[in-house]
Amino acid sequence: MAKREGSSLALYDFLDILREQCSGGDGEIRKRVLGFLATERDTTASLMSCTWYCLVRNPHVFAKLRSEILSSYGPRTNGASVRITFSSLKECTSLQHALSETLRLHSVVHISSCRALWNSTLPTGGGADGKSPIFVPQGTEINFSKHVLHRRKDFWGGDTDNFVPKRGEKKRGAASAA
pLDDT digits (tens, 9 = 90+) for 102-131: 999 999 888 888 999 999 999 998 999 999
Cα separation of 174 and 178, whole Å?
A: 8
Based on C-alpha coordinates, what's the Rg of the chain? Answer: 22
**Could you tell me the pTM of the whole model?**
0.67
Look at residue 145 and tell me whether its pLDDT is greater than 50: yes
User: pLDDT digits over 46-74, tens only?
Assistant: 899 999 999 999 999 999 999 998 888 87
Residue ranges of domains in the chain: 1-53, 54-177
pLDDT of residue 171: 64
pLDDT at 178: 46
Q: Find the mean pLDDT for residues 73-91.
A: 77
Q: pLDDT for 8-38, tens place per residue?
A: 555 657 777 777 887 777 888 888 777 766 6
What are the CB-based long-range contacts (under 8 Å, 24+) for 169-173? 169/93, 169/97
Angstrom CA distances, 175 to 5, 36, 78, 115, 167, stand at 43, 27, 42, 19, 12
